Amino acid sequence: MMARHDVTVEVLGPWSLATSKQFWEGFAPGALPSQGEQQEMRTVFRVEGDWSRAEVWVTQHDSAARIVVEGSGDLELAAAQAGRFLSLDVDGRGWVEVGSRDAVIADAQEQLPGLRPCGFHSPYEAAAWAVLSQRIRIVQAASLRDELVREYGENGAFPAPERLRALDLELPGRKTEYLQAVAEAALDGRLDGLALRAMPVEDAISAVREVKGLGPFAAELVVLRGANAPDAIPQNERRLDKEITFRYGAGRTLAEVSENWRPYRTWAAVHLRCLREARTHEISRGRLGLG
């Protein structure tokens, strides 16, 4: 039976739904499908624990977020999960201070006002994406994901773990085996977002690496963008390393400059990656004569 849960939460620190929505819909590899008006975020997802389908609408009212969820499962959990994958649960009141300590981050904050990094709906979906995107192009992986949702999902929601575990898919390499391992881990609670967020980041990544098919890069993706941990240094982002050199100068390292980003190291890294993607896109458009 479908029900509705409506909750308003105070978002602590800077937040712009419009800026976050732009990031949410366009930042590969984890762009989340959404619909709705410009001042509304809307998506469907699986609720961790009961794996029911939920649909969520998020709107901004000054510094507060109204989260409305519909579904047949635990809707209080669904609303909390939505807050987590949209970073609305993070106390961001100290984020401005990071900019006061680091001029590069201050510039990023100015260019991306109110951005809150939006993650995957859950570590489970992040892990499935990590498997699908291994050794193939992002466009191909997105096509595989869309086909899974269309054929085996539920009205736009990714297939539930129990369903995914039972599928005998014809996918490249060992992707089917690894997807089944991800589904098994989700059902066992080893990919639980709250549990992973409660661990030290290094321990969480190590725990995720125990799932068959998830190497260092995949495990980091699951924790940083699946559990949406706000304070971690991405260790496997070559493009971020290049951005550090571009912004801070040759000889500066991510480990060095990120000390000033605590306790929002993930946020700062995402801001810099966003600016790099935007700059690369503009350069490409210029080369093609598109503007």
What pLDDT digit, counting tens, does each position of 128-152 carry? Answer: 999 999 989 999 999 999 999 999 9
Mean pLDDT of the chain: 91
**42 sits in which H/E element:** strand 40-46
Assign 37 a pLDDT band (cuts: 50, 70, 90).
Answer: low
Q: Which of 84-88, 261-265, 267-271, 272-276 has the lowest mean pLDDT?
A: 272-276
What pLDDT digit, counting tens, does each position of 38-51 carry? Answer: 589 999 999 999 99
Residue 16 burial (10 A CB sphere; 0-12, 13-18, 19+): middle
Rounded to 5 degrees, φ, ψ at 145 are -65, -45
Task: Report the pLDDT averaged over residues 225-248.
Answer: 92
Buried b (16+ CB within 10 A) or exposed e, 83-92: bbbbbbbbeb
CATH number for the region 3-93 comes to 3.30.310
Assign 281 a pLDDT band (cuts: 50, 70, 90).
Answer: low
Instruction: Name residues whose C-beta falls within 8 Å of residue 251's C-beta, 6 or more positions apart in sequence.
Output: none
Q: Residue 226 has what pLDDT?
A: 96
Q: Which of 31-35, 64-68, 169-173, 225-229 has the lowest mean pLDDT?
A: 31-35
pLDDT of 7 higher than 60: yes
The answer to whether 212 and 245 have CB atoms below 8 angstroms apart is: no
Sequence ranges of the domains in the chain: 3-93, 123-226, 238-287
pLDDT of 78 higher than 70: yes
- Classified by CATH at the fold level, domain 123-226 comes out as Endonuclease III; domain 1 (1.10.340)
Task: Report the pLDDT averaged over residues 97-107.
Answer: 97
Task: Report the pLDDT averaged over residues 151-165.
Answer: 97
